[in-house]
Amino acid sequence: MILRAFALAGGFVGAVSTSQLPEYSQQYLQRLGGAKDALEQVIADFDASAAAVGLSRADALDQMQGSAFMDRRRADMAATFVRYEKLTEAQVALTGQGAFMRVYLLPRVTDPQIAQATFRSFEPAMPLTFTGLLFTVAGFVLGAALIGGVLGFLGLPFRRSRRVGAWPDQQAAP
């Protein structure tokens, strides 16, 4: 009876947790778009400054040297270009996808900074869609099975023998 109660509690925890995955992926996608837009503005300003003096992006980066500050700024801008490309690829991969695909793809395209910011400001939402219901049911089943399985395994040494009224050490020798 206690095992069933714990399994039910595990099911509820699993249901609540997995029901939030579609909402988290949606909030992550929104933050991803905002971060990409911000980097796009920084890159546009850099490219405009380079073009104003007749340089390409690569030439402008090459000229950023000669002092510790300029070397550091060149490395920062190079990293910004790389991050912008990664965020663009992630946004392309996630945009237009349904909740199942977003949740499936999210671990493969996650930017750690955006993921942390999304988690810190995450606001749970009640899943009122069919997809939300499916995630809830799946989480309940997985949570109940996981807790039930673990507790069942841990209880194996404490189970009595199948012979009625006899403990394994009290059984008569045949």
pLDDT category at 168 given cuts 50, 70, 90 is: low
Question: Please, are residues 60 and 45 in contact by the beta-carbon 8 Å criterion?
Answer: no
Q: pTM of the full predicted structure?
A: 0.73
What letter does residue 174 receive in the DSSP assignment?
A: -
What letter does residue 167 receive in the DSSP assignment?
A: -
Residue 90 structure tokens? 């992630």
How much is the pLDDT for 171? 56
Q: Is the pLDDT of residue 174 over 60?
A: no
Q: Is the pLDDT of residue 162 over 60?
A: no
How much is the pLDDT for 170? 56
pLDDT tens, position by position, 72-125: 999 999 999 999 999 999 999 999 999 899 999 999 988 999 999 999 999 888
- Measured between alpha carbons, how far is 8 from 15 in angstroms, rounded to an integer? 10
* DSSP states of 84-114: HHHHHHHHHHHTT--HHHHHHHHHHH--HHH
The fraction of the chain above a pLDDT of 70, given in percent, is 91
Alpha helices (H) in 20-165, listed in sequence order: 21-52, 57-63, 68-94, 99-109, 112-120, 130-154
pLDDT category at 163 given cuts 50, 70, 90 is: low
Residue 93: Cβ within 10 Å count: 15
Q: What is the pLDDT of the chain when averaged over all its residues? A: 88
